[in-house]
Amino acid sequence: MATLGDIGLAAAINILSAFIFLVAFAILRLQPFNDRVYFPKWYLKGLRSSPTHSGAFVRKFVNLDFRSYVRFLNWMPAALKMPEPELIDHAGLDSAVYLRIYLIGLKIFVPITFLAWAVLVPVNWTNSTLEISKVTYSDIDKLSISNIPEESQRFWAHLVVAYAFTFWTCFVLQKEYEAIASMRLRFLASEHRRPDQFTVLVRNVPPDPDESVSELVEHFFLVNHPDHYLTHQVVYNANKLAQLVKQKKKVQNWLDYYQLKDSRNQSKKPMMKTGFLGLCGDKVDAIEYHKSEIERLSEEIAAERERVTQDSKSIMPAAFVSFKTRWGAAVCAQTQQSRNPTLWLTDWAPEPRDVYWENLAIPYVSLTVRRLIIGVAFFFLTFFFMIPIAIVQSLASIEGIEKAAPFLKPVIEVKFIKSFIQGFLPGIALKIFLIVLPTILMLMSKFEGFICLSALERRSAARYYLFNFVNVFLGSVIAGSAFQQLNTFIKQSANEIPKTIGVAIPLKATFFITYIMVDGWAGIAAEILMLKPLIIYHLKNFFLVKTEKDREEAMDPGSLGFNTGEPQIQFYFLLGLVYAAVTPALLPFIIVFFGFAYVVFRHQIINVYNQEYESAAAFWPDVHGRVITALVIAQLLLMGLLSTKKAAQSTPFLIALPVLTIWFHRFCKGRYEPAFVRYPLQEAMMKDTLERAREPNLNLKGYLQTAYMHPVFKFEDDDEEEEVNEKLEHESVLVPTKRQSRRNTPLPSKFSGSSSPSLPEAVVQEHPQP
């Protein structure tokens, strides 16, 4: 049990370390040679060029202007200065809305903190239960609900305040949902033409013996959307091609390097060895070698591309279908096309850069099986992840290693190595697991078959939150591995579980306060310092960077990381809501976290992170849902806690809270969620009409022709790309049917085998001859 003094000391240490991080950041960011680490966003936008190109040699690397060091916190107001519309323009709606999550934290917890300190702290403080009971307690506990005697009438205060908290949280959430839904719609409406507004992704195109996928798609949509269908692009399985292109790019880069070297030092021809890592094999002229390599790869690429575009096997049963109007696309995306609801699945096409190409061809049955497998796997991951780690830990012990590899015995027995193994190895297994966990979850989502990066990240975030809740929150509160908890909970009755956790909640307040300071305060300060990218960039710059292009690639700012960042924020919502009525002393720490994190992430979003895709805040329903979950958990735990305090007369009033909260959630879901999954026809029509009036002669087909090409085709040289385009265009204009029975079909053919796609009306009407 920590006293107020202990907490104060921990706070001081963490504030100090945060302060050190900030000072270090303030110094490092002003050095020109770090410029690409701390301001990559501006480089990517083309608004900033390398400072190393101009000026005195020293000033290229070190900032000698000491005045700039004085105002070392001036990035903070700068970060806050940019207004939201500009931020949306600069970094996308996703990032801007992501920042609003921190703001909601402030909006929810600042009034709650005031209310809690005004009402609950006096109510709790003016008791002496803890003093009388003679148990060890900290000063923090005197402010908490633990200090109230059993059966006290004072619990009514907590009850009323819990209602107030719930209503305030729901109120803020509802306002925010409304605001973000309208932001999203405004964003979608104000945007310029985007290919995904006109395009629908069709999956599970059924196999047909007579027609290729491309022909099938064209015929199907000409028949079923005759007035709106414009064009389509089939999806190629270009994974091998992508690999070859990547290889060629690498070789090209080496060639550039050697040519640069050669031009600087004409006397000596650059030589290299062809074997493993350039360490063995024949010594050859590097430039010649790479030139021939490029030639070989170019040939291979051409052959492979030929194969991909010709071979029907490399065409996946999926296609991006574009429509003449947004209205047509909205209709197609929201309706069912065929009798069999697992064929011709239509969905809004994600943004081109958001597409996860590998998953486009998974058939329906496989999808449901994958979902089952991943569901079971995640269950085991969450509750049994300690088992393999415990095995590794036992292997990583001295005895384990000696048993597994007796020949290592003399080495291990050296004292230094022994103490290293004993002290370090057991912990490192868990640490490594926790570091790779987001990657594992991402792989799971990929296996599950989502077709866009944004959906992958959303699903991973949901799983990460669940993992954190079970293993960090419950694990800390009840102190036991998740498996033990599961075992306990299964054996406990439904109303015992909230009691068991509820009772432990106030005792863990000081632990979580420390957690907030370490993970929240210092962690966020470390975030802005960007130590890992900084080191990696300088290492790369020193060892690997050969050309300017390489330097650009070494500067990899990464993206915001919704899948790890959002669950972390949600964890603070959970802590705040759970402790609001129990230990109000924790709330100020939460507020500091939200405020500080808001400023830091605003800075990072403006200056560092690159936007990988734009989902127009499609993640908001998830965020909303998780805050609601935290609220319900908080209510249940308070109920459990109060019922152990023998405040039985007040608990019935608490039962209404989760019911009302869940009802509120369903209300919000019905009211606002459609804005995030559907696209109203009214909007589509309005935008179509406006566009038709403004640009009557727009060549939409040309615009959409190559929007959804596999990225590998885009890396090609221009003339090659054109060739492919031409091929694609050729293919989608002239599709003679290969169907044998085309005119003599007695019943209307499923695809109404047409002869001339340019006359859809005539085709449709001509066909049925009963």
Q: Are 200 and 232 in contact (CB under 8 A)?
A: no
Q: Is 484 an interacting residue with respect to a copy of itself (CB under 8 A)?
A: no
In whole angstroms, the minimum distance from the beta carbon of 685 to a copy of itself comes to 5
Q: Which residue in the set 175, 678, 738, 743 belongs to the binding site for a copy of itself (CB under 8 A)?
A: 678
Amino acid occupying residue 132 = I
Tokens, residue 311: 């071979």
Q: Are 434 and 519 in contact (CB under 8 A)?
A: no
In whole angstroms, the minimum distance from the beta carbon of 628 to a copy of itself comes to 15
CA 9/CA 408 separation, integer angstroms: 45
Tokens, residue 42: 């501006």
Give the residue with the Cβ less far from a copy of itself, 598 or 679: 679
Q: Is 496 an interacting residue with respect to a copy of itself (CB under 8 A)?
A: yes
**Cα-trace Rg, the chain:** 31
Q: Is 697 an interacting residue with respect to a copy of itself (CB under 8 A)?
A: no
Tokens 């030139």 map to which residue?
A: 291
Given the rule CB under 8 A, which of 29-37, 330-338, 526-534, 539-547 is the region that contacts a copy of itself? Answer: 330-338
Q: Is 483 an interacting residue with respect to a copy of itself (CB under 8 A)?
A: no
Q: Are 547 and 620 in contact (CB under 8 A)?
A: no
Distance of CA 734 to CAs 145, 214, 309, 753, Å? 76, 11, 16, 14
CA 724/CA 718 separation, integer angstroms: 10
Q: Is 256 an interacting residue with respect to a copy of itself (CB under 8 A)?
A: no
In whole angstroms, the minimum distance from the beta carbon of 577 to a copy of itself comes to 22
Give the residue with the Cβ less far from a copy of itself, 233 or 752: 752
In whole angstroms, the minimum distance from the beta carbon of 500 to a copy of itself comes to 11
Q: Is 744 an interacting residue with respect to a copy of itself (CB under 8 A)?
A: no
Tokens, residue 523: 């962690």
CA 96/CA 184 separation, integer angstroms: 11
Amino acid occupying residue 354 = D
Q: Is 243 an interacting residue with respect to a copy of itself (CB under 8 A)?
A: no
Reading across the β-sheet that carries 199-203, which strands appear in turn? Answer: 229-236, 315-323, 199-203, 345-348
Given the rule CB under 8 A, which of 25-33, 119-127, 577-585, 688-696 is the region that contacts a copy of itself? Answer: 688-696
Interacting positions 528-557 with a copy of itself (CB under 8 A):
none
In whole angstroms, the minimum distance from the beta carbon of 332 to a copy of itself comes to 8
Give the residue with the Cβ less far from a copy of itself, 196 or 304: 196
Q: Which residue in the set 73, 179, 690, 698 belongs to the binding site for a copy of itself (CB under 8 A)?
A: 690
Q: Which residue in the set 53, 192, 491, 730 belongs to the binding site for a copy of itself (CB under 8 A)?
A: 491
In whole angstroms, the minimum distance from the beta carbon of 664 to a copy of itself comes to 9
Helix H, strand E, coil C: the string for 632-680 is: HHHHHHHHHHHHHCCCCCCHHHHHHHHHHHHHHHHHHHHHHCHHHHCCC
Distance of CA 619 to CAs 84, 281, 571, 616, Å? 19, 53, 17, 8
Amino acid occupying residue 177 = Y
Q: Is 223 an interacting residue with respect to a copy of itself (CB under 8 A)?
A: yes
Give the residue with the Cβ less far from a copy of itself, 228 or 710: 228
Q: Which residue in the set 49, 394, 649, 682 belongs to the binding site for a copy of itself (CB under 8 A)?
A: 682
Q: Are 201 and 349 in contact (CB under 8 A)?
A: yes
Q: Which residue in the set 680, 729, 755, 759 belongs to the binding site for a copy of itself (CB under 8 A)?
A: 680
Q: Is 492 an interacting residue with respect to a copy of itself (CB under 8 A)?
A: yes
Q: Is 666 an interacting residue with respect to a copy of itself (CB under 8 A)?
A: yes
Q: Is 762 an interacting residue with respect to a copy of itself (CB under 8 A)?
A: no
Q: Are 40 and 608 in contact (CB under 8 A)?
A: yes
Distance of CA 362 to CAs 257, 343, 645, Å? 42, 12, 54
Q: Is 364 an interacting residue with respect to a copy of itself (CB under 8 A)?
A: yes
Give the residue with the Cβ less far from a copy of itself, 370 or 540: 370
In whole angstroms, the minimum distance from the beta carbon of 395 to a copy of itself comes to 27
Q: Which residues of 613-646 are buried (b: 16+ CB within 10 A; e: fewer)?
A: bbbbbbbbbbbbbbbbbbbbbbbbbbbbbbbebe
Q: Which x/- pattern over 178-217 shows residues binding a copy of itself (rule: CB under 8 A)?
A: -------x--------------------------------
CA 686/CA 679 separation, integer angstroms: 12
Q: Are 755 and 737 in contact (CB under 8 A)?
A: yes
Q: Which residues contact 698 (CB under 8 A, 6 or more apart)?
A: 691
In whole angstroms, the minimum distance from the beta carbon of 698 to a copy of itself comes to 14
Instruction: Report which of 480, 515, 482, 478 is spatially closest to residue 500, judged by C-alpha positions.
Output: 478
315 three-state secondary structure: strand
Q: Which x/- pattern over 624-663 shows residues binding a copy of itself (rule: CB under 8 A)?
A: -----------------------------------x---x
Q: Which residue in the set 419, 495, 644, 649 belongs to the binding site for a copy of itself (CB under 8 A)?
A: 495
CA 262/CA 260 separation, integer angstroms: 5
Q: Is 239 an interacting residue with respect to a copy of itself (CB under 8 A)?
A: no
In whole angstroms, the minimum distance from the beta carbon of 474 to a copy of itself comes to 16
CA 365/CA 728 separation, integer angstroms: 30
CA 104/CA 220 separation, integer angstroms: 47
Q: Is 335 an interacting residue with respect to a copy of itself (CB under 8 A)?
A: yes
Given the rule CB under 8 A, which of 66-74, 145-153, 459-467, 691-699 is the region that contacts a copy of itself? Answer: 691-699
Given the rule CB under 8 A, which of 33-41, 219-227, 568-576, 735-743 is the region that contacts a copy of itself? Answer: 219-227
In whole angstroms, the minimum distance from the beta carbon of 69 to a copy of itself comes to 51
Q: Which x/- pattern over 373-412 shows residues binding a copy of itself (rule: CB under 8 A)?
A: ---x------------------------------------
Distance of CA 78 to CAs 105, 300, 410, 663, Å? 22, 51, 59, 42
Give the residue with the Cβ less far from a copy of itself, 80 or 690: 690
Alpha helices (H) in 138-234, listed in sequence order: 139-142, 155-190, 195-198, 213-224
Q: Is 439 an interacting residue with respect to a copy of itself (CB under 8 A)?
A: no
Phi and psi at residue 701, in whole multiples of 5°?
Answer: -65, -45
Give the residue with the Cβ less far from a copy of itself, 8 or 768: 768
Given the rule CB under 8 A, which of 250-258, 533-541, 585-593, 673-681 is the region that contacts a copy of itself? Answer: 673-681
Which segments within 344-430 are labelled E, that is strand? 345-348
Q: Is 360 an interacting residue with respect to a copy of itself (CB under 8 A)?
A: no
CA 744/CA 748 separation, integer angstroms: 10
Q: Is 366 an interacting residue with respect to a copy of itself (CB under 8 A)?
A: no
Q: Is 686 an interacting residue with respect to a copy of itself (CB under 8 A)?
A: yes
Phi and psi at residue 206, in whole multiples of 5°?
Answer: -70, 150
Given the rule CB under 8 A, which of 155-163, 166-174, 488-496, 583-591 is the region that contacts a copy of itself? Answer: 488-496
Binding site for a copy of itself (CB under 8 A): 185, 220, 223-225, 227, 327, 330-331, 334-339, 341-342, 344, 364-365, 368, 371-372, 376, 489-496, 659, 663, 666-667, 670-675, 678-683, 685-686, 689-690, 692-694, 748, 750, 752, 764-765, 767-770
